[in-house]
Structure formats: C-alpha cells, structure tokens
C-alpha cells in the first residue's frame, strides 16, 4: 500500500497530494518534488522518438533507504507519483501498475466533471475515496 | 416617526406579527426578545437589522412600539427585496412584498397564512388543493409582477413551463400553475392540486434563504414567475431546521386546527401530502411524480430530445444558477453522472436536479448515489445498487450501460490497453529461456523493454512474425535471423534480452532448437547496425582489396552490382568455381524466396565445389534484395572459407549444410563466426530447418557429383581451382581475424556500456 500519493499537473505544481498522516508529511512533499526531476528525465529520454507509444508507467523512479518512489505520466503530462514503503517488499510491479491505472481512471472522472476546472486542486470525494483505498491502512 | 401607510394585507400581516411578538400582552409594545428573534428570522445581515431598528426608532425609544414595529417590518420587506433602506422608501415603495421570516414562526405564519388563504383562495382559486398555497401571493401577485421587474431573469415564455427553479419551484410552481390558469385559463386543475400539494411539501423544505428574493428570481430565471417567489416566501416560513417530516405534520395540524372549509380541504390535501411525504421519508431521495415532471421539463429546456444528453458545460451553467457552492455542485455531478461520460442523460439529470433541490433545502449530500436516484439502467456498479424500477421513466436514454468502474472514459481506456499489454507481457516474462547472461543484464533488458514498451515487443516477439523486417529472411533459420534482427532493433539487448523477453521469443528460440547455438549466435551482436556498418566498410574494403583483383578476371558484373560487402563473396565464386551453376540455378527459385544466405550458401557451395560461378547471379539476386545481404554474403564467404579450411576433407555436403545453417544475416559477421565455431552443431540444426534448406543443400549436393566428374575430366582445372581456393582461403582467414578483432572491441564496448547503464540504474533489479 502506498504511503503517499500525489498528482502533479503539467506545470509541475501539485494538484493533489496526500500522505499517511502518521509520518512527516513535509518529507513526502519533498520526496515527490525531487522525484519530478527523475520523471522529467525519463520522459524526455523516451519521448522523442516514440511519442506515440510512450510508456505511461515509468516504473521505479528511485529508491531510498526508507521507501521507493514510482512514477506514471499521462499523455497530457500529468504525473502521478506513488511513494511506497520499502519494508513492503511484497508489492509487485503489477500491483503498482494497477494502482496507477485506478488513479488514472479516477483522475479522468474528476476531469470529466464540468465543475472541475483543470488546474484546481482536486477535491473530489470519489477521488479521495480511491486514494484512501490505496493508502496504507494503518495510521 | 414617519407616517406609514400599509396596505390591508400588510396591515393584517403586521398586526399578526405584532401580536405574536407581544408576549406581554401589552398591545403596545412588542417584546424586544421576540422582535429580535423575528428580525433574525428575516435572514438579513445583522447590520441591516441594526439599521432597521435604528430607522424605525426603536433604538431611540428603547422598545418596539407598534408603529416602530410596523416600520421595522416594512423596512425588512424593503431590505428583503433588495432595495436600499431608506426612511423615505417606507411610503414610496409601492407594492412591496411582505417581509419574510423563516425560522420558528410556524404557528404565526401558519395562522396568518390560513387567514390569507381564507381571504384569497376563495376569491381567486377555486381549486381546493391550492388552498395550501400561500394566498398572499395571490394578492400580492400583482406586486410580484412589479417586483419581478427588479429581478434580472431571462425571460422565458410563460407558457412553456410552469416550472420554476427547484428551490422555488415547489412553492412557486403552484403559483405558476395558478397564474397560468388564471391567465390562460388552461390550467390543469388536477395538476394544480398535485403541484400545490407538492408545493406545500417543498415549502416546508425550504432552507432558510440566505439569498434575497432577487437571488431567487435569478435562479428561476427560466421560469415566468419569479415574482411569485417573494410572495411565497412571505408565506413560507416553515422551518427547515427541524426535519421536514416533523414540521410538516406539525404545520399541517396547526393549520388544520384553524381551518375553515378551505382549511379542511387543505388539510386533506396536506394529509395526502403527509402520507406521500412520509412514504418519501422512507426513502427521502425518492423523486415524486410532479418533481420528475418538473425535471423533465427543465431537461427539455436544455435538450429537447428526451433521449439525448446534456453536455457538461450546459449542465454546469444550469446548475450554477442554483447558487450552490461549486464544490457541492461538483460532488453532485460526481454522484449523478453515472456513466462518467461528462454528459447527463434524463435520469442523471433528474438525479442531479433532485440532489440540488435537496441540498438547497438543507439536506446533506449523500456519499453515494441513493438507490432511488440511480439511472434506470442495468446497473453494473459493483456496489450492487439496484436501479429503482421507475414507472414513467423508460428513459434508458443513457447511452452507456457501462460499469462506472470499468470503462470510465476513452482516454483511460486507451491508455489502459497498452498498459495491460505491457503488464501482460511483463507477467508473461516469467522466466527467460536459456539466459546465459547475468541476471542484472536480464533485468536491464527488461527495464529497457518496459521503458520502450511495445517497441520492444515488436522487434522482439514478432521477429519471427516479421520477416519483412529482416528483409527477406523468411524461411531460413528464423531464429537466427530474428536474433540478428533483435540486435538490430535494440542496441542494448544482447541475446539475453531476447531470451528474457516475452514468451514468443523464447518460444521461437526454442523452436529454432538453437539452444546454445542460437544463443551463441545471438549473444555476440551488440548493435548490429553499428558493427555491420563498420564491418561492411572494413569487410568491403578488405574484400574489395582482396578480391577486387581476382574478381576482375572473374565475373565483374556481379561484383559491380553487389554492394561492397557483397563483393567478397562474389570474387570467391568467380575465383574458382565453375558452374555448379546449373545446380544453383535450379535451386535459385527456391533460394530467392529464402534468405540471401542461401545465396551465400550456394556461393560457398559453388565456391567449395569450385565449379559454380553461376552462384554469382544468384548472389546478385539476393543481394539486391537488401543491405543485409552484403554483410551476410560477406560473412558467407568467410564462413565458407572457414568451413572450407577445416572441412576440406569433409564432404561438401556438410560444408553446404553448415553454410546453409548460417542463415541469419543481420550481424552476419558475428553470427557467421559463431556458426563457424559451431558448425557441427549447426549442421544438425540445419537439417532440422527445412525442406528448402534441404533443397538448397540438395542443389549444391547435386552439383557436387559434378565435381568429381570434372576433376576426373580436368585435373589441371581442378588444381588451378585449388590454388585459387587457397588464396581465397588466406584472404578470408585474414578477414576473419580482422573481424574477430572487431568483435572483441565491440564486445568490450558493450560491456562498458552495460556497466555504465548499471551504474545509472542501480535499481534495475526489483
């Protein structure tokens, strides 16, 4: 389960960021921010030649001693970042992918809402519900 | 104190209120507490209330005398209609609506409402059902008309819909109906009754209006009777604080008690309403028929086709008029847009509208869409809420009967597919087949594959399926070929990548039966194009150098035609080999569809046999096919030479077979070399490969027998050819060594790159 989930807009400001509250939230904010660089690097590395079939799932961005950071980019350059606890070793790549897929789906639903202006912070309850479902249950 | 002229209605109303406030029964002074409560119930900002009290002189006096009270009430009415508070306006403003008070004044209001009902209903509205409806509006109806001028609402043709904005509609729709009836004498009495009853229900729902009348008017901009609301408001003072059910019965009994005949009728209506309401309270989200009709009419105003969709933007505009906060509207949208398509069907629209009405009336929004509001479709939601079997609503208008969870929208769908493919293949990559490289390499390649996504998929798995990529190598050892092609496609990946790749590749590989050999063949070629180019250059140069001269006397045309790398092979055959060409030509039809290797093969065959110059034409045909040919041909001679060297004593058949097996073109030099190394293994492989090869082999074989004959016939010629062969042999050996050197260099390069990659991606293994 994720420890922190963030949605970053195309202009690299956060649309939604939520972490397991028991831990230091600021640390996660910082982690997500630094992961943006890695995302950029990955995106630019792949994007030039294969713009059509660029992989949306970026995989593990970088690991630290405590946790691992996974990234995912949509075609509209909206980035999803999931921070997972390193101790949770059983998380397979597929599970991370499915988490991203769910995130993307519910993000699309938020976008479809005509009352949502792109660029606003995401305040959808449905989206929150999905994210809660993915967060670490404890704390 | 300014003199105050009140209309009769106002007089009555005010006196009622005064009596209500006159708790001490002084008949003179309204108690401050009550008055203040009343003023608070007027829902005006506190500073306005202060201003009013000042203006009316109560602050001066310290209490509310009757006149002050009246003045205050009038000022409240003024304030509620949005006019500036002026003492002068007390008398100047004509046709002012009665002030409204919302909270806690049930009994008083009910009482005087009843009074008004008595007064007005009889005169104007025969329909008993309408008795409940605030009568003062009837009187004040004209007032409202004037007031309506103040309200900026989009005029909508009156006859279109007797429907008004939700929070007003319930109360106002009866008015509109009445008005409609009066003016157009159309009126459906029944509707009126129903609507009236509904109106009663809804009025009780009325949330304390924070907005003033004008605001309401705006919201109901699409309906004719914005004027009505104000009047209505005056009557509607049901508390929204207490649960409607409680108020409803409370109100009605009270009203019933004071009933006149109309009252009794009204109470009857209300009891009906109560019943309906109570049943509604079993399911508070149930949409009543009249409500639904109202919603449908509203839907029509936006989208005439009842089976059509309202686009999100139009719906947004519409619901924004309700003055609910955007966040709540957003939540309502999320609840009601069931199929998540960004548009509202009739069902969804009704649900959304109903939620808006409820919210306006003080209900909290539910977390999930209530059952009764579910669109009347097959609900595929895994929450398993059963769609209510709506009676009139056959609107399976909603086009998409899709699980909300499942396919939210196109973008997500689209991107889901490649993802799924990816993941499928990722999961499919359970265990790479014979991986000889270190696991890290495999992982790296996997990462690479994942990163580049389907691109890898294409080159890798469909390699076998995509001979065209490899330009003609369709039939011959596909495994070999695509191994080479793989390397072409992927700079990094060595054979490992293929082995660790998706199953098809491994399958193919296994098919090719090339276990170690294929792998060996696969392993070497790092970036095939690169080495190829260099190779081609070098080889061509070498070959050119070495074979240019000999080629000259030979068959220049093939060399001319062939590309540089192709040159070497050509000279070889020319050097020595007379015509096994016949045999070759016979096989050429087979060869042409096959890989150019066959050409090489045949060349070598001819070469080895030193009797097949005609192989050159075959070579030409093949070489013309593609660049790869050159290299392969270049490799071919190499191979041939090599094989010739060690295998002179062997039958040419074996040599041929070996050559044949060395099908793969892509990085010809390398695979070739590999094959050379493992000729023996390749041979059996070749035998497996296919009839074509057999055919090809057969062809040279057939040509072989001719050799002894020729030898027998012309020893000198044979000796000459032997000499030529030896020369070619040395040349090829030199070439071989050079290529080996290149191979080593490239391997080193590759290793260094891989190391770098590892460093850059320390997390490659997961």
Residue B678 has phi, psi (to 5 degrees) of: -115, 50
**Looking at CA atoms only, how far is residue A115 from chain B in angstroms?**
5
Mean pLDDT computed over B605-624: 47
Residue B45 has a pLDDT of: 76
pLDDT value at residue B400:
43
Closest CA to B692 of B428, B476, B448, B538: B476
Angle at B161 between CA B159 and CA B167, to 5 degrees: 135
> Do B415 and A55 make contact, defined as CB atoms within 8 angstroms?
no
Pairwise CB contact (< 8 Å): A115 & B316: yes
Question: What integer pLDDT is reported at residue B723 of this predicted model?
Answer: 93
Out of A54, A100, A112, whose CB is closest to B342?
A112
Angle between helices B136-150 and B106-116 (to 10 degrees): 100
CB contact under 8 Å between B452 and A50, yes or no, is yes
**What pLDDT is attached to residue B402?**
42
Question: Is residue B109 pLDDT above 50, yes or no?
Answer: no
How sure is the predictor about B747, in pLDDT bands with cuts at 50, 70 and 90? very high
Report how far residue A139's alpha carbon sits from residue A136's, in angstroms, rounded to the nearest whole number: 7
Q: What is the pLDDT of residues B331-357, one digit of tens each?
A: 888 888 888 888 888 888 888 888 888
Identify the contact set of chain A against chain B, taking CB-CB distances under 8 A: 42, 46, 50, 53-57, 59-60, 62-63, 68, 74-75, 93-94, 97-98, 100-101, 104-106, 108-109, 112-116, 123-126
Three-state SS string over B350-395 comes to HHHHHHHHHHHCCCCCCCCCCHHHCCCCCCCCCCCCCCCCCCCCCC
Which of B327, B454, B763 has the CB atom closest to A123's CB atom? B327
Q: Is B177 exposed, middle or buried (0-12, 13-18, 19+ CB in 10 A)?
A: buried
Q: Which of A75, A93, A112 sits opposite B426 (nearest CB)?
A: A93
At B222 the pLDDT is 42
Q: Cβ contact (<8 Å) for B452 and A55? A: yes
Residues from chain B that touch A109, judged by Cβ atoms under 8 A, are: 334, 340, 408-409
CA B147 to mean position of chain CA atoms:
49
Q: Which residue has the higher pLDDT, A136 or B665?
A: A136
Contacting residues of B for A42, CB less than 8 Å apart: 451
Q: Which two tokens stand for residue A74?
A: 């949509």
Show the tokens assigned to B171.
């109360």
At residue B725 the predicted structure's pLDDT band, cuts being 50, 70 and 90, is very high
In a domain, A39, yes or no: yes
CATH code: domain of residue A111: 3.30.450.70
Q: Which residues of A touch B326 (CB under 8 A)?
A: 115
Does B643 score more than 90 pLDDT? no
Tell me: pLDDT of A73 over 70: yes
Range B8-89 classified under CATH 1.20.1260.10: no
pLDDT of B752: 94
Tokens (6 digits) for B314: 């139009």
**Has residue B79 got a pLDDT over 70?**
yes
Q: Quick one: pLDDT at residue B591?
A: 44
Residue B223, pLDDT above cutoff 90: no
Closest of B185, B293, B295, B164 to residue B231, by C-alpha: B164
- In chain A, which residues have their Cβ closer than 8 Å to the Cβ of B405? 105
pLDDT of residue B114 exceeding 90, the answer is: no
Whether the per-residue pLDDT at B477 is higher than 70: the answer is: no
Determine the residue among A39, A44, A55, A118 to mutate to test chain B binding: the one whose Cβ has the most chain B Cβ atoms within 10 Å: A55
Question: What's the pLDDT score for residue B268?
Answer: 44
Residue A58 has pLDDT above 90, yes or no: no
Quickly tell me which residue has 């209900």 as its tokens.
B363
Per-residue pLDDT for B260 more than 60?
Answer: no
Per-residue confidence (pLDDT) for residue B733, from 0 to 100: 94
Residue range B548-595, pLDDT digits in tens:
444 444 444 444 444 444 444 444 444 444 444 444 444 444 444 444
Is A138 domain-assigned? Answer: no
Q: Does residue B230 register a pLDDT over 50?
A: no
Which residues of chain B have a CB within 8 Å of the CB of A95? none
Range of the domain at A7: 1-132
Instruction: Test A104 with B415 for CB contact under 8 angstroms.
Output: yes
Is B218 buried (19+), middle (13-18) or exposed (0-12) by CB count in 10 A?
middle
Give B355's contacts in chain A (Cβ within 8 Å). none
What distance in Å separates the CA atoms of residue B220 and residue B302, rounded to the nearest whole number? Answer: 14
- B415 closest CB neighbour out of A42, A74, A112: A74
> Which residue of chain A is at minimal alpha-carbon distance from B333?
A113
| 3-state SS class at B156 | coil
What would the two tokens of residue B384 be? 């398993």
The answer on pLDDT for A86 being more than 70 is yes
Q: Is the pLDDT of residue B110 over 60?
A: no
pLDDT reported for residue B176? 39
Q: Would you state the pLDDT for residue B298?
A: 86
The rounded mean pLDDT for chain B is 56
What's the pLDDT at B728?
94
Compute the CA torsion angle B600, B602, B605, B611 (nearest 10 deg): -120
pLDDT of the residue at B233: 39
Picking from A56, A93, A109, the nearest residue to B766 by CB comes out as A93
CB contact under 8 A, B331 and A125: yes
B8-89 and B289-361 share one CATH topology? yes
Residues in A touching B366 (Cβ below 8 Å): none
Among B179-188, B537-546, B728-737, the least confident range: B179-188
Residues in chain A: 139
Is residue B455 within 8 angstroms of chain A, CB to CB? yes
- Write the residue in A62, A68, A97 that is nearest to B423 by C-beta: A97
Q: Are B580 and B549 in contact (CB under 8 A)?
A: no
Q: Which of B199, B23, B208, B15 is nearest to B116 (CA)?
A: B15
| B533-559 pLDDT, tens digit each | 444 444 445 555 555 444 444 444 444
Q: Is the pLDDT of residue A97 over 50?
A: yes
CA angle centred on B580, ends B574 and B582, rounded to 5°: 120
Give the per-residue pLDDT at B24.
64
Of the pLDDT bands very low, low, confident and very high (cuts 50, 70, 90), residue B469 is very low
Q: Is the pLDDT of residue B731 over 80?
A: yes
Which has the higher per-residue pLDDT, B412 or A106?
Answer: A106
Closest CA–CA distance from residue A66 to any residue of chain B (Å): 14
pLDDT at B651: 46
Interface test with B, best of A41, A46, A113, A129 (most B CBs within 10 A): A113
Name the percent of chain B lying above pLDDT 90: 5
Please tell me the predicted confidence (pLDDT) of residue A24: 76
Q: Of the segments B158-167, B309-318, B630-639, which one has the largest average pLDDT value?
A: B309-318
- Taking contacts as CB-CB distances below 8 angstroms, the residues of chain A near B319 are 115
Both tokens assigned to B56:
């009316």
Chain A residues touching residue B334 (CB < 8 angstroms): 109, 113, 124-126
pLDDT at B546: 52
User: Average pLDDT of B287-291?
Assistant: 83
Task: Indicate the DSSP class of residue B95.
Answer: S
What is the count of residue pairs from A and B with beta carbons less than 8 Å apart? 101
Across residues B47-53, what is the average pLDDT? 76
Cβ distance B454 to A74 less than 8 Å, yes or no, reads no
How far off is chain B from A104, nearest CA to CA, in Å? 7
Cα end-to-end span (Å), chain A: 12
- Looking at residue B743, what is its pLDDT? 95
What's the rounded Cα separation, in Å, for the pair B688 and B520?
Answer: 18
For residues B554 and B574, is the Cβ–Cβ distance under 8 A?
yes
| Shortest Cα–Cα distance, B331 to chain A (Å) | 7
A50, B341: Cβ pair inside 8 Å?
no
How does B23-59 read in b/e, with b if 16+ C-beta sit within 10 Å?
Answer: eeeeeebbbeebbbbbbebbbbeeebbeebbebbbbe
Q: Which residue of B has its CA nearest to A101?
A: B416
Q: Tell me whether residue A139 is in a domain.
A: no
Q: Which residues from chain A sit within 8 angstroms of residue B337, using beta carbons?
A: 112-113
Check residue B724 and give its pLDDT: 94
ipTM: 0.83
Asked if B313 lies within 8 A of A74 by C-beta distance, the reply is no
> Out of B326, B331, B766, whose CB is closest to A60?
B766
Closest CA relative to residue B208, chosen from B113, B103, B127: B103
In sequence order, the 6+-apart residues with CB closer than 8 A to the CB of B93 are B78, B83
On whether the CB atoms of residues B75 and B56 are closer than 8 A, the answer is yes
H-state helical runs in B185-320: 189-205, 213-219, 228-235, 244-257, 261-282, 289-302, 312-320
Mean pLDDT is highest, among B201-215, B324-338, B465-479, B585-599, for B324-338
pTM above 0.80, yes or no: no
Give residue limits of the domains in chain B. 8-89, 289-361
Other beta carbons within 10 angstroms of residue B462's beta carbon come to: 17
Q: In this structure, how many other beta carbons lie within 10 angstroms of the beta carbon of residue B335?
A: 21
Nearest-5° Cα angle at B155, B153 to B158: 125
pLDDT at B358: 86
Q: Supply φ then ψ for residue A3, to 5 degrees.
A: -100, -30
The lowest-confidence range among A9-23, A95-109, B23-37, B153-167 is B153-167
- B 338-357 → A contacts, CB under 8 A: 340-342
pLDDT tens digit sequence for B665-708: 444 444 444 444 444 444 444 444 444 544 444 444 444 445 55
Q: Please list, in sequence order, all residues whose beta carbon lies within 8 angstroms of the beta carbon of residue B352, skipping any fewer than 6 positions away.
A: B315, B319, B332, B333, B335, B336, B337, B344
- Distance CA(B126)–CA(B34), nearest Å, equals 36
The helix (H) or strand (E) run that includes residue A16 is strand A14-19
Cβ within 8 Å, pair A112-B763: no
pLDDT of residue B738: 95
Higher per-residue pLDDT: B46 or A71: A71
Query: In terms of CATH architecture, what is B289-361?
Result: Orthogonal Bundle (1.10)
Between B730 and B698, residue with greater pLDDT: B730
Structure token pair of residue B185: 């004498």
Residue A102 has pLDDT above 80, yes or no: yes
CA dist., res. B700 & res. B636, Å (int)? 15
Subunit contact B333:A113, Cβ cutoff 8 A: yes
pLDDT (0 to 100) of residue B95? 61
Q: How far is CA A4 from CA A66, A96, B187, in A?
A: 13, 13, 61
A105 closest CB neighbour out of B319, B342, B408: B408
Q: Report the pLDDT averaged over residues B630-655.
A: 46
Domains of chain A: total: 1
pLDDT for the residue B521: 45
- Give kind and range of the element (H or E) at residue A72: strand A67-73
Q: Which helix (H) or strand (E) is A58 found in, with range? A: strand A57-63
- Could you give the C-alpha distances from B272 to B128, B132, B170, B248, in angstroms and in order? 13, 12, 16, 11
Q: How many CB atoms lie within 10 A of CB B410?
A: 10
| Contact (Cβ atoms closer than 8 angstroms) between residue B175 and residue B158 | no
Residue B613: the pLDDT is 46
Q: Is the model's pLDDT at B722 over the cut of 60?
A: yes
Least CA distance to A47: which residue of chain B? B452
């Amino acid at each position: 389960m994720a420890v922190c989930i963030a949605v970053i807009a195309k202009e690299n400001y956060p649309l939604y960021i939520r972490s397991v509250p028991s831990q230091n939230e600021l640390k996660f904010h910082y982690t997500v921010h630094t992961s943006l660089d890695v995302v950029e690097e990955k995106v630019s590395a792949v994007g030039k030649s294969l713009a059509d079939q660029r992989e949306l799932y970026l995989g593990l961005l970088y690991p630290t001693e405590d946790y691992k950071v996974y990234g995912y980019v949509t075609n509209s350059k909206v980035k999803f970042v999931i921070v997972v606890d390193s101790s949770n070793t059983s998380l397979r790549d597929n599970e991370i992918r499915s988490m991203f897929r769910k995130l993307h789906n519910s993000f699309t639903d938020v976008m479809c809402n005509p009352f949502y202006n792109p660029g606003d912070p995401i305040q959808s309850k449905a989206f929150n519900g999905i994210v809660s479902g993915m967060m670490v249950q404890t704390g | 104190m300014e003199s105050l002229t009140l209309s009769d209605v106002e007089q009555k109303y005010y006196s009622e209120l005064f009596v209500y406030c006159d708790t001490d029964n002084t008949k003179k002074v309204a108690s401050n507490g009550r008055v203040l409560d009343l003023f608070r119930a007027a829902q005006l900002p506190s500073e306005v209330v202060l201003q009013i009290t000042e203006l009316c002189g109560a602050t001066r006096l310290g209490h509310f005398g009757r006149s002050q009270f009246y003045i205050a009430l009038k000022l409240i009415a003024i304030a509620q209609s949005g006019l500036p508070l002026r003492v002068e306006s007390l008398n100047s403003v004509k046709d002012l609506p009665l002030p409204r008070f919302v909270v806690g004044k049930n009994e008083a209001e009910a009482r005087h409402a009843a009074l008004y009902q008595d007064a007005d209903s009889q005169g104007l509205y025969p329909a008993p059902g309408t008795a409940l409806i605030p009568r003062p509006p009837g009187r004040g109806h004209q007032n409202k008309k004037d007031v309506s001028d103040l309200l900026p609402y989009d005029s909508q043709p009156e006859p279109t819909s007797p429907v008004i904005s939700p929070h007003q509609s319930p109360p106002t729709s009866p008015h509109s109906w009445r008005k409609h009836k009066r003016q157009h004498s159309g009126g459906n009495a029944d509707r009126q009754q129903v609507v009236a009853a509904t109106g009663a229900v809804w009025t009780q729902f009325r949330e304390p209006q924070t907005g003033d009348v004008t605001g309401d008017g705006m919201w109901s901009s699409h309906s004719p009777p914005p004027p009505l609301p104000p009047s209505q408001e005056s009557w509607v003072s049901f508390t929204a604080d207490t649960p409607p059910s409680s108020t409803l019965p409370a109100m009605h009994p009270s009203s019933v008690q004071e009933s006149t005949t109309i009252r009794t009728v009204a109470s009857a209506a209300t009891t009906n309403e109560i019943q309906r309401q109570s049943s509604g309270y079993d399911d508070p989200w149930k949409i009543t028929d009249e409500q639904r009709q109202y919603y449908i009419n509203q839907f029509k105003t936006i989208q005439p086709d009842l089976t059509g969709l309202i686009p999100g933007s139009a719906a947004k505009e519409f619901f924004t008029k309700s003055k609910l906060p955007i966040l709540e509207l957003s939540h309502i949208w999320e609840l009601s847009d069931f199929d998540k398509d960004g548009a509202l069907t009739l069902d969804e629209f009704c649900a959304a509208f109903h939620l808006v009405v409820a919210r306006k009336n003080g209900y909290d929004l539910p977390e999930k869409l209530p059952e009764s509001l579910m669109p009347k479709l097959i609900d595929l939601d895994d929450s398993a809420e059963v769609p209510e079997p709506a009676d009139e609503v056959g609107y399976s208008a909603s086009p998409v009967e899709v699980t909300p969870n499942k396919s939210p929208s196109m973008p997500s769908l689209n991107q889901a597919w490649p993802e799924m493919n990816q993941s499928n293949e990722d999961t499919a990559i359970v265990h790479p087949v014979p991986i000889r490289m270190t696991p890290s390499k495999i992982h790296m390649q996997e990462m690479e594959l994942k990163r580049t996504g389907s691109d890898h998929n294409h080159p890798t798995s469909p390699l076998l399926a995509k001979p065209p990529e490899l330009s003609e190598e369709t039939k011959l050892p596909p495994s070999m070929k695509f191994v080479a092609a793989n390397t072409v496609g992927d700079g990094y990946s060595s054979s490992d990548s293929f082995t660790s790749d998706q199953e098809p590749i491994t399958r193919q590989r296994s098919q090719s039966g090339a276990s170690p050999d294929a792998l060996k063949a696969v392993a070497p070629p790092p970036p095939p194009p690169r080495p190829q180019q260099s190779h081609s250059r070098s080889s061509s140069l070498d070959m050119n150098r070495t074979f240019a001269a000999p080629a000259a006397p030979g068959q220049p045309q093939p060399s001319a035609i062939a590309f540089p790398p192709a040159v070497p092979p050509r000279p070889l055959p020319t050097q020595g080999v007379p015509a096994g060409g016949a045999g070759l030509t016979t096989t050429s039809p087979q060869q042409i569809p096959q890989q150019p290797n066959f050409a090489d093969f045949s060349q070598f065959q001819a070469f080895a046999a030193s009797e097949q110059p005609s192989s050159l034409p075959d070579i030409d045909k093949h070489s013309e096919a593609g660049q790869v040919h050159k290299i392969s041909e270049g490799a071919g001679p190499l191979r041939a030479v090599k094989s010739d060297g060690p295998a002179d004593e062997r039958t040419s058949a074996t040599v041929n077979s070996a050559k044949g097996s060395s099908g793969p073109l892509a990085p010809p030099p390398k695979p070739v070399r590999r094959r050379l190394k493992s000729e023996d293994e390749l041979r059996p492989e070749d035998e497996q490969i296919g009839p074509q090869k057999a055919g090809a082999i057969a062809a040279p074989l057939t040509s072989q027998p001719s050799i002894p004959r020729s030898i027998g016939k012309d020893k000198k010629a044979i000796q000459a050819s032997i000499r030529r062969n030896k020369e070619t042999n040395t040349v090829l050996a030199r070439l071989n060594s050079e290529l080996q050197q290149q191979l080593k260099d490239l391997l080193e390069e590759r290793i260094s790159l891989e190391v770098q990659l590892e460093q850059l991606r320390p997390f490659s293994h997961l």
